[in-house]
Structure 1
């Protein structure tokens, strides 16, 4: 019977391993295809900004018997010629109608037309107006926050891991998640609202959290990799991904379950538009962040560091030893402890071994007896017989 716990232990010890880093070209191709598709969606289909960003008038109707969207569009066009109305069904008996900016007189006429079309009292229809300047201010602040966030995160990661290459790999994976999320937003036609912006900013932290967890294990495994006689830098980094794989999957599943509940139940069943906007961004971002932390970030780090002189020299030396049969093959020795401890055990001389690495010699000289010097018979291995007195 399959045991998930045993599977995780095998991945952590190195007994079982997936070649995430070795097959990085495949993951790169998949990531590039998704990013290109997202960019095409943004360029051709484009995002659907909500009324908060484009400005306009909004009418809310509740307890409507007929929730046909065509009825609302016809009611608006009968008052304002050529006006484009976006009619959305909210829940089981609610309708939301969004139009371009209307004058106060046009607003009252549209309210009366909607009341007549949907057969509801005119007093049950609420209207509001949102200026486009508010949405532009939100967009400007969001872009400023994103830039400040990226700069601070890059500096902090570089300082924590003591290398700028980890910052570059983490930020590339982060932008990968953002572009894919925005592209799917454009492809599905969901409105971009302030709640969507909150969702975008939220997935930044989640994506980086998962990547930093993997990078921390990579640093632990590769801290003294140039002195290792068991693994190259690429193999040690791949082991780190395998060791954190179960944790990444479990964290993602636990995070996706409540988000999926909000998205499919709270939004599509109950019709809560705000929940739909933020939950879609979170759902796509968490899924993309899990993919990038496993398949993108660590392989990118390996590509950035594998040309360093020390790593190149160590890799050549270890591969040469494997070819000569003086070093174990990759993956042949499970890692039941930390890589550094295992390497130290291999290099530590055995008890009694000579300086030249000869075989151990056990000192067989017995300790001196407390009874004094041994007799000649005892030294020859025979048991000494006690002297007998003369018989009288």
Structure 2
């Protein structure tokens, strides 16, 4: 389907072609209209760069603003993500999901056209000491709840069950009212309604947000997204990145024990240890503070007096339940929302967060059962290594 389409038909004022709809009820835009809207993809209109390729802000002559993801010609991953988003997006209509308007295919060009989010992504505010002051407690709680509602829709109420597989701060965009919208479904997977989990030899996602069963064995399910949500929620509460303790360039070329409870999760590949970025230090510290009755020590100080302390402690509690080591012990998103909003609902006691023992790491590596890992770092997806 995708390779047969072109953008040579007459268009209306927004560059929408006259037949209006193609494929999965998505609009087909002409290349000329997208180039004009983005000032020929000028650097001043560039919003960012991801594994798919660069993202540009655009504005049609009608005044409608758009965001354009332009596939990098050298990106094999981008081609797969492009097709995946087109296939998935028809099924997804929710206030907490970014809307895809359509696409453009012109020669070798592949572009996705989205609604424009004027307040950028959540990480733009959350991890900046100045901008984070705009995120008072009520706003942070609304963002947490909105993300939870979006994931609940994907897992339970969309026509097919969707596992996002890359829930993180940079994939949560904020509209003009700072409402959160989950974006970037290039790595998402569709599940049959009776399907509970799946296995893959190609792991995709972002270091620090991937669940242990996914990193270690390639097993993923809705509980994988729950784990990522738990990490993200603790980031929102603390204003700290889960991987802030790590050096991304760290590689230890020694054979020995390196994986302890409070050190980063490490994979052995050949004779090389590689930090996968599972946030053991971050999560362990959050759990330790909570278990010692000092959970408020995790709070981002920029929240200040706006914080509802009981609500904050409850959110930390729920976040820790979401990152439990065993997937079966984590709540579903259907459970998470009443846990967050029903103050009279009793919650189970969270256990120590997931971490990997040295023995498991070395055993999996020696057995040669390690899957390929495609990790997204700082919003850019790269292939870190292949299991041999």
State the TM bucket, normalised to the shorter chain: under 0.3
Higher RCO (C-alpha 8 Å, min separation 6): 1
TM-score for both structures, normalised by structure 1: 0.21
Which has the larger helix fraction?
Answer: 1
Larger radius of gyration: 1
Relative to its length, the structure with more strand (as a share) is 2
TM-score, length basis structure 2:
0.21
